[in-house]
Each structure stands twice: as C-alpha cells, then as structure tokens.
Amino acid sequence: AQSVSQHNHHVILSEAASLELGCNYSYGGTVNLFWYVQYPGQHLQLLLKYFSGDPLVKGIKGFEAEFIKSKFSFNLRKPSVQWSDTAEYFCAVRGNNRLAFGKGNQVVVIP
C-alpha cells in the first residue's frame, strides 16, 4: 500500500510570505496526486490534482504544486499567503483503488 509523508506539521507565517509544503510518497505503480485543504470546522476541499502531463499543476486560490517523479514528491506552493489561507493542508496519493493521506500541515497565517 502507498504511504504519504508531510513534514513541518505546524507552520506559522505572516501575510504576504511565501508558503511551501512538502509531500513525499512511496508507491511503485502509477499514482494520482492531490492536495486538499480543510478550513476550520469544514470538510476537505480539493485544491489541485495531478494525473499526467505537465508536472507543474495550478489549482484554486493561487496554489500550485510540482510533481517530481524522481523524488517521489508533490510539493505545494503559494507565492503570497493571506490570512484566509489559515487551514490544514493534506497531501493524498491514489493507487491500487485507495486514496491515502498524509498527516497534514496546520498552517496559520498571521495578519
């Protein structure tokens, strides 16, 4: 079964700072990759996904992620965060009929 690692579980930064969240996965087959966001008290919402093609994927709200196959990574970035980006972010990998999640990154943006 696949596994997903997310580092720096708690991130605190100021508005306008840049954000990068790391995601590494282990799986030997073809994978689909996702980033989800969970705002306080809400359910998960899809930020972006990668299935094939251009490894640089652009999602909603100014987020983007880059798939680097050789590094088994799918890091999430945003050049300039806003207070409204305060949320928990989850990387997920689908393979073999299963969608597996990382443990999440709690991001707090200070106004």
Distance in angstroms (rounded) separating the CA atoms of residues 21 and 34: 13
Stretch that binds another protein, among 13-21, 40-48, 62-70, 75-83 (CB under 8 A): 40-48
The amino acid occupying position 63 is F
One-letter amino acid at 109 equals V
11 binds another protein (CB under 8 A): no
Count of residues engaged in binding another protein, rule: CB under 8 A: 24
Q: How far apart are CA 68 and CA 43, in angstroms?
A: 28
Q: Give Cα separations from 99 to 58, 91, 95 (angstroms).
A: 21, 10, 7
Nearest to another protein of 79, 98 (CB atom): 98
Q: Binding to another protein by residue 9, rule CB under 8 A?
A: yes
Residues that bind another protein (CB under 8 A): 1, 4, 6, 9, 34, 36, 42-46, 49, 51, 90, 92, 94, 97-104
